[in-house]
Structure 1
């Protein structure tokens, strides 16, 4: 097993107090965290979000994407319900890494869309690996989830891991003039389930 549990601590946030569980990936030399609130081991489906790290959106408040808004909305919804989980995976730039993401952004500045930019750099449109979720889910004792996502790949990945997805909850937020083309590309080329125009 490449993913190993490290430790758990309290994480007070503006949305409430979460438990933060640390996991180490020995193969990819990555460190992932899972935030939980309430008892996630019961049979009732757990409100869940799979969130890939986005330094620019999550921490630097970039308007080029909707990532930061999605993370905050997910934390708020879990806090409102009093129970849930956020898998925070260190897969920056759909898995291409931060510096390659800077290169991809530069290509987007010149007119390419997010998929074309990744492909011009020699990457796939989406390089993320969701199989790393399995040991995290097993460690936390999660049986089924209500998944906050617009991405059909995340639903398929959870089902492939043998985890029941009882419901997909629309999670569209953070639309603005700077990311309209980005969102249109996610919908048109990556099949994301987005309603806004």
Structure 2
């Protein structure tokens, strides 16, 4: 698995952190005030609190529990209870490769030099959870891979699929820029109803 879409940029504006997941890996996706995106393990090394419950302070992500702050490399650089202490280098959050392209936030859990998926000029519409595995979603459309699925429809839709669990995924949907977002969104809702009504 190389690049996986984890969110649309409009859902993670500067200064915001959200939870996300790729299979069995829980992630905290966050954006600095200057617009740099990061994907980290969603656990604070101190007491295991979810970092996605935390908050962005400048170019750092702070844990909501005790306020420990981690810089963009994932290293702890400030502990409020010990403000004069320089935290040891061993206190750090596992980080993953993360980038933005075409209004989509992409993450790779492994080092990769693979190109990002081509979006064909399509623009983001919305993200939607679907109670179906990523593989089953791909199979429904006859696609060999679930990373991105081009759907033949009136809307020229591309679905960037995020595998979450064995029976759930997120569909990050893009469509031709000349298509009405509301119409595409309704089409997506109908698609989800069809997919979730399929026999397992």
Q: Which has the higher strand share?
A: 2
Larger gyration radius, structure 1 or structure 2: 2
Q: Which has the higher helix share?
A: 1
| Larger RCO, structure (CA 8 Å, separation 6 or more) | 1
Alignment TM-score, normalising by the size of structure 1: 0.27
